[in-house]
Amino acid sequence: MSLPLSLQWQEDELIMLDQTRLPIEEVMLRPKTVEAVFEAIKMLRVRGAPAIGIAGAYGLVIAMQHKRNLTWPEFLLEAERQADYLNSARPTAVNLSWALKRMIGKLNDQHDSETAFQVLLEEAKVIHEEDRKLCRGIGKNGLSLIKEGMGILTHCNAGGLATSELGTALAPMYLAHEKGISFRVYSDETRPLLQGSRLTAWELQRSGIDVTTICDNMAAVMMQEGKIDMVIVGTDRVAANGDVANKIGTFNVAILANYFKIPFYVACPASTIDLITPTGAEIVIEERAPEEVTAFGERRTAPIDIKVRNPAFDVTPANLVTGIITEQTILRAPYAESIRQTYGNA
């Protein structure tokens, strides 16, 4: 099974797979500046909540690698400024702010710029390695949900490309495939940027998993025909009450699954659970450029000067979620209680 690596740190260099070029080309990026990392996150060259958290951590390392000559107060102030800058690249996914806060928090006990830089570098590596273990834990906890002959629908991309390795929503599928369980995946194309057809279908096919790409508006028919037995999606933020923010169109899928009485699961690491945000209503939803909607590839598909809305995410209410698969357990309703019992209070 050949799994893609979304990003690597090798010989003091960040290497990222440019996901905007897939599935036609596999192009590796080597950003040398914090601005280049910011651009890669903003323009979805690296994407997926866990992956952008890791990229943000390494981005802070890159930002500070030439600042070691600053006095300690100057170094700390600059690190905080650069963390704020990186965090502004994408507001909805909580992992980015989580990773950057964690990085800055490691500087609390430091008093020397050179030592502090080494602390930042080591913490970024720890965050990266932790994500690998978290993804495998999610996979193990979700594995029992996948049965022989199942049809599974997923939306957007929550696989190896969105994380350090196995993914979140796709992690149970990869482990089931390793065990020889036969199942079929239906991958929503995920308009407007086609992460499902460009990325999910690409990595599943490459790994030898039976995958079929469908347009977003075909999900209801697939369910009506009895081809879908379960839905598993990722998420960019889980509110304290269990509401989940994920790629636009996820809410549609959850409503359909509820209508057809199909289990709807969300998979994520604990770092995606935002205990400070009470409900999905408080989650900031990123609005992206209208050009993403008015064109398909390089061809314009809408009138000039047409008004456009382009929210990148939607919020699925907790009452539509069958379970939240984490590296620790499968959380069940009532989510405010199960989240609090498992991960504590904000």
User: Which of 188, 236, 243, 314 is the catalytic position?
Assistant: 236
DSSP string of 91-150, one letter each residue: SS-HHHHHHHHHHHHTTTT---HHHHHHHHHHHHHHHHHHHHHHHHHHHHHHHTT--TT-
Strands (E), the chain: 7-10, 13-17, 28-29, 151-154, 184-188, 210-214, 230-233, 237-239, 244-247, 264-267, 273-274, 295-296, 299-300, 313-316, 323-325, 330-331
Structure token digits, residue 256: 């359909």
Active-site annotation holds for 236: yes
Tokens 């802070």 — which residue? 60
Comparing CA positions, the residue from 251, 255, 322 lying closest to residue 283 is 251
CB 179, CB 3: distance < 8 Å:
no
Comparing CA positions, the residue from 118, 107, 11 lying closest to residue 68 is 118
Phi–psi pair at 323, nearest 5 degrees: -170, 155
What is the rounded CA–CA span in Å between residue 230 and residue 323?
12
DSSP string of 260-293, one letter each residue: TT--EEEE--GGGEETT--SGGGSPPPB--THHH
What is the rounded CA–CA span in Å between residue 308 and residue 322?
33
The strand order across the sheet containing 210-214 reads 210-214, 184-188, 151-154, 230-233, 264-267, 323-325, 330-331
Number of other residues whose CB lies within 10 A of the CB of residue 180: 7
Q: Is 151 strand, coil or helix?
A: strand
Q: Is 333 strand, coil or helix?
A: coil
Among all residues, which ones are annotated catalytic? 236
